[in-house]
């Protein structure tokens, strides 16, 4: 989802730079967190907290844009943030 939003944002122009960076950050942090969870890493909870923060910021920025591709992305990363917050507190 995040990489799709990035690809779509590239065609929208320069004002989408922050959205692009945050979507890429979410994709990377979420992937890393999934790997940590898979190996039951002791650092998974702290990475979940970081992932939640990145997701929340990305959702806020994507939610400001009217483009059709940004709205679904904002919804997905909001859900991801909630899941990560839950995992961080567990």
- What is the domain range of residue 56? 2-89
Q: What local confidence, expressed as pLDDT, does residue 66 receive?
A: 85
CATH label of the domain that carries residue 54:
1.20.1270.360
Residue 54: closest CA among 73, 29, 32: 29
Q: What is the pLDDT of residue 13?
A: 63
Give Cα separations from 17 to 5, 7, 33, 41 (angstroms).
12, 11, 24, 33
Question: What's the pTM?
Answer: 0.83
Domain count, the chain: 1
Residue-level pLDDT at 90 = 66
Tokens 């991801």 correspond to what residue?
80
* pLDDT of res. 7: 59
Q: What is the pLDDT along the chain (90 residues), one digit of tens a residue?
A: 556 565 566 666 667 788 888 988 999 999 999 999 999 999 999 999 999 999 999 999 999 988 888 889 899 999 999 999 999 886
Cβ-contact 29, 47 below 8 angstroms: yes
């Amino acid at each position: 989802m995040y990489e799709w939003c990035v690809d779509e944002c590239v065609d929208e122009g320069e004002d989408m730079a922050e959205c692009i960076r945050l979507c890429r950050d979410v994709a990377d942090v979420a992937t890393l967190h999934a790997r940590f969870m898979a190996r039951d890493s002791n650092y998974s909870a702290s990475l979940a907290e970081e992932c939640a923060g990145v997701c929340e910021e990305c959702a806020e920025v994507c939610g400001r844009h009217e483009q059709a591709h940004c709205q679904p992305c904002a919804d997905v990363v909001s859900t991801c943030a909630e899941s990560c917050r839950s995992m961080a507190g567990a």
